[in-house]
């Protein structure tokens, strides 16, 4: 997994509407909370996405942007966003190229590790957390990112 201080690799992935979105384009708005998750509609991933949704007003207030990355296609991401009223971008990494670049591929290439990064506009990773089954650790991470960005 990439560590704080490292430069985040550039990428372009399709979003939930099928439009190509690059890391650089998301960073034009300010720092980014980029999170990787195993799959739409699973209990842990739904809980994580809804926790971020519930913090979204605070996230925007401090100028952060959020994007989630998983291997599902745009159609699945759109259904997931609609069902849980998720106000942030979901990106499709079907071949897991970006997942591998960020070092969050599952053991032996199966699955995706649950990881969250705070990336500044110069593409440097300011903070990161890997907490596969500890969903609360991601909630705490996002809350810390909000606090960091409000100073």
Q: How far apart are CA 56 and CA 81, in angstroms?
A: 14
Closest among 29, 35, 47, 43 to 1, alpha carbons compared? 35
CA distances from 60 to 8, 48, 125, 126 (A): 21, 17, 19, 18
Contact predicate 61/26, CB 8 Å: no
45 carries an active-site annotation: yes
Q: How far apart are CA 73 and CA 131, in angstroms?
A: 24
Of 13, 45, 91, 125, which one is the catalytic site residue?
45
H or E element at residue 10: none
Q: How far apart are CA 55 and CA 120, in angstroms?
A: 19
Supply the residues annotated as catalytic: 45
């Amino acid at each position: 997994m990439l560590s704080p201080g490292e430069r985040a690799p550039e990428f372009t992935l399709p979003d939930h509407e099928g439009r190509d979105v690059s890391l650089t384009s998301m960073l034009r708005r300010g720092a980014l909370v980029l999170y990787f998750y195993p799959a739409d509609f699973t209990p842990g991933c739904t809980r994580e996405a809804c926790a971020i949704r519930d913090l979204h007003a605070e996230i925007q207030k401090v100028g952060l942007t959020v994007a989630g990355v998983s291997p599902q296609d745009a159609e699945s991401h759109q259904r997931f966003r609609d069902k849980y009223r998720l106000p942030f971008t979901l990106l499709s990494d079907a071949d897991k190229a970006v997942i591998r670049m960020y070092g969050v591929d599952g053991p032996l290439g199966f699955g995706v590790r649950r990881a969250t990064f705070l990336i500044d506009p110069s593409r440097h990773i300011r903070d990161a957390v890997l907490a596969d089954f500890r969903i609360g650790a991601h909630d705490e991470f996002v809350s810390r990112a909000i606090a960091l960005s409000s100073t």
